Amino acid sequence: MADVIHAWHPDVPLVQEVLHAQFEHHAYPSHTHDSWTVLLVDQGTVTYDLDRHEHRTTNSTVTLLPPQVPHDGRSATPDVPFRKRVLYLEPEWLSLSAVDAAAETPMIFDPNVTTTVDQIHATLNDPADVLAAECGVLALRDLVQPHLKLPVDTAADKPLARRLRHLLDDRLDETFTIAEAAAQSGFHDQSHLTRHFRRTLGTTPGVFAA
């Protein structure tokens, strides 16, 4: 069975690269990335050393590898191929204070995280759905922060969220990013916007716009 690799650079804020691959015998030597690596293994099992500690993936469990921390990777069963999907996210997607926590506990056993990663990959397959993909990446950040014991701002801000709703209502026929929408609605950043929009209206901006 030949290895299958599909990699691309979507035009989505905070996403450096996306990789879908199936390997039969390939093993990664120790290396680092300048990005956050969000790994989802769909078939097989992968073992890897991260910061000199060995870990093993399980199917449908998300692994979060921090930037600039050495890791390798190989099939746990050499005769069985493994299939994976990977998001490479910009270093600023999470704060630097999250690096040590992710290196210590890279596995995230949360079905909501797994579902969100799966949905991000689904939207990235459609290059026209940039807003939904961007919202997914921001929602994923909110979901992994408690796992890493990072604080999440929970202050209510209904007027701003409703202002964004009106903006989306008026401009559904236009293509724009969360960053442009956040600034025009009065939020100080994308994460601020997404949290309050979901808390107030029960869904993300991308889902609402769709």
Average pLDDT over residues 65-76: 87
Average pLDDT over residues 181-185: 63
CA distance 167 to 182: 10
15-23 vs 82-89, strand pairing mode:
antiparallel
- Among 22-31, 35-44, 82-91, the range scoring the smallest mean pLDDT is 22-31
CA distance 36 to 198: 24
Pick 153 or 51 by higher pLDDT.
51
Task: Read off the tokens for 176.
Answer: 């724009």
Q: Please say if the pLDDT value at position 87 is more than 60.
A: yes
- The answer to whether 118 and 110 have CB atoms below 8 angstroms apart is no
**pLDDT above 90: percentage of residues in the chain:** 36
49 contacts: CB under 8 Å, gap ≥ 6: 30, 55, 70, 71, 72
Average pLDDT over residues 157-162: 54
- What per-residue confidence (pLDDT) applies to 24? 78
Average pLDDT over residues 104-131: 88
Question: Per-residue confidence at 68, pLDDT binned at 50, 70, 90?
Answer: very high
- What per-residue confidence (pLDDT) applies to 43? 86
> pTM of the entire structure?
0.73
Q: Please say if the pLDDT value at position 156 is more than 50.
A: no
